Each structure stands twice: as structure tokens, then as C-alpha cells.
Amino acid sequence: MKKNLLKPLMVVFICLLAFACVKDTDFDQAEDIVLTPVVELDLIYFNIEASEFYDDVNQIPIPTLTDTTEIRFLDDTEVQENLRRADFYFKFTNSIPRNFQVDFQFLSEQNDTTYATQTSVAEGSVQTPVITEFEEIIEGDDILQVTMANRIVVSVTIPDANPDLEGTLNLQSKTTYYLEIRDRE
Amino acid sequence: MRNVLTLTLALGLSVCFAQNKQLLYGFDEVPQSLMLNPGTKVPQKKHFGIPFLSQLHINGGSSGVSVFDIFGESNVDINTRIRNKIFELKNSDFFTATEQLEIINFGWRANNEIYFSGGIYQELDFISYFPRDLAILAWEGNRDYLDYPFNLGEISATADLLTVYHFGANKQLTKKLTAGLRVKLYSSMLSARSVNNKGTFVTTLGGPDSPNIYEHTVTNANVTLNTSGIASLDGMDSSEIPGEIIGRAFFGGNFGLGVDLGATYDINNRLSASASLIDVGMIFHGKDAETYEATGTYTLDGIELIFPPLSAGQPTLPYYDNLEDELEEEIPIDTITSGYTQFRPLKVNAALKYSFGKTVGKGAECDCRNMGGGIDRAQAVGAQFYSIFRPKGPQMAGTLFYYRRLWDFLAAKATYTVDSYSFSNVGLALVTDFGKFNFYIAADNLLRYGNLAKAKSVSLQLGFNIKIDEE
């Protein structure tokens, strides 16, 4: 009896170990794995006083104020490979009674302009500041241009200025990065 | 070959197991049961493990996910399945892998009836808890999680590669009590751990006083990574690294000391209780130790442009560099080269065994030289308890077992185990003695061997010994 039981038992056990396998699986699916995080990140902000558009010493208006910052991660290889879309959102709050033209210029390491966009900001007043929103959705081939840049140049142009001009131009901005991360050979 | 490959893959993915050797514990026909309880009963007179073959132990497991859950053939997109799993898993779920390879194992009964045993084994032990919040952040990004504090403290992982030199003594103290002690010298080859971390990361919409649209805030971060034996490998040619690590196996690395304790008590001649504490010890990482520590609180608002009046050709302010400097100042990453002490994962085993059936081997029901002591019988049933201390607290397992001596040369033990992985873990161990040649194999989760992809843990032990029995 014992003998009768033992042999099948051993056979079953050894077979289990010998023929253990992984079934109904498809490891090729690993190639289809894509991470698609959507990242919200602050970009730049500033507050420009109306007086900054007038040179008190020389008694002349300064029509355009320009500043530049690096956005160093923008041309990282990972970002270049994985970024599919970027939504730039700019929110201006203007209490200066002037319209503005604002230019955004993306510069590469070699100082080439890879992408540029501009918007105009509606005039406001100190009592009732006016909000102007501007959104630039960048995808497709444009993304390749943007991810070649690692600097943004911001130029703010005022049509005319005088020493009595009052108010502030405020900017807040953010970018929504749509990433698509997959295993690349 | 294909099976071997897929098995390797399967273990590779579901890396995790908890070192529970429920099949070998108390299975005295296997000399390695002494390693699980230095106070077990030793029937043989001497044993020698065949070098490198006396015990191979592999264990892999993950408490919340199987290979099949992710890679199973299905109409559902793999990314949907991964996403569902990320949300289903808890931060107490874990992945673990253990491997032990005995290099030497030997033992002999001295004239004073003490059974001495010693040896060397190499161990790899890895555990990582599932950092659920960070997985969500990586998978989804922060857009849909404004105001949700991602917990940085969920990072909890340890990895160790070490060699253990051990020597122990075991003696039947009274008719009822057998006890044993084993001293261990640990030689750590590589070690890394990141435990007891704290902190949160949150993105919130900026309030009226906030300079920008969002505030990205890291609060009370305290994230630490201890490493030893790793810093010196940096910069080394990759072909030199294996040689360097193997060199450390032989007294080249960091040392530690520990003990194993255990005892077996025969309550009557059918009922017996046993318990052991394994790896009560610590490793002192002094040599080649590096600790990286990031602490602090920081809120990122983006970059403020101040439009400084510049003359032509003059560069503007280095805003980005300043931002990086500020971040490094607020959440500095310190590198500390002083040593640290690491506790070994303590394992606790306990068992209650009831023997029945006809008596076998030495000792009969009316053996006057063994009054009140336990008697070897052909069958036994019992219950076992196992616990291992892990970074987030003990992991426990309960086992019911049935033991049967089929013939003199063949014994088997079947187990049913409930643990963090499943409620349906059935295991079987066989040990054979052909003359002096002793071979054993033990595998659990047998119900899953039909398709290992569906197993959440797999454990396998096998080995060859030369055993010389008492005359």
C-alpha cells in the first residue's frame, strides 16, 4: 500500500519541479510599457514696476526690458526623448495703463533661436488691474525645437513711457509637461 | 532550457521572499535543520556537506503582485494592468529575494556527547517595500494630485551580500531537553539600506501671497541611504569588480557578530516543543562606509526674473544656478563617511509536534535508558510559527505540517503555510539516505508549479551531504 502510494507521489513531485513552467504569459509586452506622467511645474514669475520703463538719469523711456534665464533641464537627453507635449501657461496681471507686447524666445546652447512666441497684454489701471492669460501648446515637431533650447529670453515692450507712469506688470507662469517614457533600445 | 530561463525571469520580476524554511525546520534527517534550530535533535554521528552543494536556497516573492498579474496574456492593455496594480498595492506590500549557498558544512559528535558543527555560507538578502506614492508620482505625474502629499517615507529597502562563518554546539542536556548555540561571524561584502525615511512632497495652488501659480513643497524631508562596500567600487573597472567582491568574502569586508539559539523539549514521549532565534547579531560597517542624508524643507516657486539694467554684452543673473544653490542649501545632501551599525534580520522559529504511529530507529516505548524522552515515530503532525524582523516590523507565517518516515531511507514532510503572500502555500520536502549519502529537496508553493507566473513567492532548497549515523 505504502509502496503504491509512494511511487506516484514521488513521480508527481519530481514532475512538478522538473516541468514547472511559466504559462499564459507574454514577456514581449514589456516593450509596450509606457509611463505617461503629466507634470505640473512652475516656470518664471516677475513684477515690473512702471518706473522701470523710464531712465530717470538720462530722462528717456526704456521701451523694452529683457531678461534671460536658463531652463537647464529642457535640453536634457531624457526630456528630448520623452517629452511629447508642453503647455506653457502665462498669467499677466497688469495695473499699468499701457498695452504690452511680450516675446518669449527659446535659445539653444549655441545661441540659436529654436522657438519663439509672443503675446500682447491688455492695459489696466492701478484701481482695476486687468488679467491677460496666454497659453502656448507645443507638440509635434515644435517639441523638438523647444527641447533643443536651454534658455528663455523674455522681452517686455511698452509703446511709450513717462516718469509719472504708475502700476505693476506681474507675470505668473507654469508648464504642463506630458511625458511618454518607454524602454528604448 | 526555456523553462529555466522563464523561471529566472519570473524570480527576477517577483524578487522577494522571507527566508522562511518551514520545510526544513525540525526535519532532523537533514543536517541543515541545525542551521534553523541549533537546539534540534541530531540523530547522526557526523555529517559533511558536499562543498558548494550542501545547501542551495533560493527564495523570491512579492506580497501583492505576481508575474501573471502583469505579464499574463490578456485583452487588457499592460499599462492599464500596471496602473491598477499600483493603486491596489499598499505601502506595506514588499518585494524580496533571498539566496543562500553553503560553501562548507560539517559536524561531528564528540566524546562528551556534544554535537559540534560549523561551516561557511554566503547569503544575499534583499527586501524593498512598495513606495506606493512615488510609484503613483512616476506613473501619473502630479497634475491630478494637487494638494496630495506624496510620502517620501515609503522608501524602505535593504540589500546585503555577506559571507557567514559559523560554529555551534548542540547537546542533549536532559532526557527531555536538547539545546544548542551557534556563534556567527559575518563578513559583509556589500550592503545598502534606506529605512526610517520621512517627508512629503506636495504641489498646491499658490495662495494670494504666493509669487507663482503653484507651490511645490518638500516638508521635513529626512531621507538616508547607508552604503558599505559600494563607494570604493565607483570608478573601478567593471571587470575588476567581481574579483574585488569575492576577495571580501574572505575577511576583506566589514565584520559583524551574532548568535543563534535554540532548544527542543519533549513534553512527553509524543509531544515535543521547540524554538529558535536565528541571527541575533549586528554588522559594524566601518570600512568603505558612506551615508547620504538629505534633510530639510523647501518650497519651489519657479524662477523670478528681476530685469536688471544691463549694458550691452553684460550677462544677466545666473537664476538657475542660484535656484540650485538655494535648493542645496535648504535640503543639503550630506555625505557622511563614518560607520554605522546594522542589525541582522532576527528570525524566530517555534514548533509543536505530535508524533504517532509505530516507533522507528532507536528507542522503543519501554526503553529504560530513555524514560520520558521523545521517541522517534513514523508519523508526526504539528504547527510551526515563523517571524522575521523587517524594516517595517515583523513578517509572520504559520505552518501546519505532516511528517512521515516512509522507509528507513526516505522521509517526507508536507506543509501548509499561511503568510503575507498567500493562504494556499503547500510545500513538500523529501530526504533520502542512500548509504551515507544524504540528499534533500524542499519546495513550497507546489500548487503554483503548474504555472509559476501565478505564484507570489517561490522557495526552493536542495543539497547533498555525507551523513554517518550512530552505530
Work out the minimum CA distance from A48 to partner chain B, whole angstroms. 8
Answer whether residue B60 is part of any domain.
yes
Q: pLDDT tens digits for B45-92? A: 999 998 888 888 888 888 878 877 888 888 888 888 889 889 988 888
Answer whether residue B408 is part of any domain.
yes
Answer whether residue B441 is part of any domain.
no
Please check the confidence at residue B3 and state whether its pLDDT lies above 50: no
Interface residue B213 vs chain A (CB under 8 A)? yes
Domain annotation for chain A: domains and CATH numbers: 35-182 (2.60.120.660)
User: What integer pLDDT is reported at residue A91 of this predicted model?
Assistant: 96
Question: Would you say B165 and B234 are in contact if contact means Cβ atoms under 8 Å apart?
Answer: no
Please check the confidence at residue B277 and state whether its pLDDT lies above 90: yes
Question: Would you say B64 and B89 are in contact if contact means Cβ atoms under 8 Å apart?
Answer: yes
Answer whether residue B337 is part of any domain.
yes
Mutate to test the interface with A, among B205, B305, B360, B445 (most CBs of A within 10 A): B305
Interface contact flag, B141 A33, Cβ < 8 Å: no
Answer whether residue B442 is part of any domain.
no
What confidence tier does B14 reach under pLDDT thresholds 50, 70, 90? very low
Please check the confidence at residue B12 and state whether its pLDDT lies above 60: no
Interface contact flag, B213 A17, Cβ < 8 Å: no
Answer whether residue B440 is part of any domain.
no
User: What integer pLDDT is reported at residue B19 of this predicted model?
Assistant: 63
Please check the confidence at residue B11 and state whether its pLDDT lies above 50: no
Measured distance CA(B351)–CA(B194) in Å, rounded: 33
Measured distance CA(B411)–CA(B417) in Å, rounded: 20
* Residues on chain A touching B146 (C-beta within 8 angstroms): 40
Answer whether residue B53 is part of any domain.
yes
The phi and psi torsions of A51 (rounded to 5 degrees) equal: -65, -20
Q: pLDDT tens digits for B341-384? A: 999 999 999 999 999 888 875 544 444 445 455 677 889 999 99
For residue A163, give the C-alpha cell: 516718469
Please check the confidence at residue B149 and state whether its pLDDT lies above 80: yes
- Average pLDDT score over residue span A151-167: 92
Q: Which of residues 166-205 of B touch A (CB under 8 A)?
A: 203
Query: What's the domain range around B290?
Result: 2-435+447-469
User: What integer pLDDT is reported at residue B73 of this predicted model?
Assistant: 80
Q: pLDDT tens digits for B183-223? A: 999 999 899 999 999 999 999 998 888 999 999 999 999 99
Q: pLDDT tens digits for B184-194? A: 999 998 999 99
Please check the confidence at residue B7 and state whether its pLDDT lies above 50: no
For residue B326, give the C-alpha cell: 538655494
- Per the prediction, chain B carries an average pLDDT of 85
User: What integer pLDDT is reported at residue A16 of this predicted model?
Assistant: 61
Closest CA to A144 of A69, A80, A52: A80
Residues 6+ apart with CB under 8 A from B448: B454, B455, B458
* Residues on chain B touching A16 (C-beta within 8 angstroms): 443, 446, 449-450
Interface contact flag, A17 B441, Cβ < 8 Å: yes
Which of A9, A67, A172 comes nearest B212 by C-beta? A172
- Per the model's pLDDT, the better-predicted residue between B235 and B40 turns out to be B40
- Per the model's pLDDT, the better-predicted residue between A101 and B462 turns out to be A101
User: What integer pLDDT is reported at residue B20 of this predicted model?
Assistant: 75
Q: In Å, what is the CA distance from B114 to each residue of B39, B111, B182, B275?
A: 11, 7, 13, 19
Q: pLDDT tens digits for A129-140? A: 999 999 999 999
Measured distance CA(B1)–CA(B450) in Å, rounded: 17
Please check the confidence at residue B449 and state whether its pLDDT lies above 70: no
User: What integer pLDDT is reported at residue B169 of this predicted model?
Assistant: 96
Does this complex have an ipTM over 0.90?
no
Please check the confidence at residue A26 and state whether its pLDDT lies above 70: yes
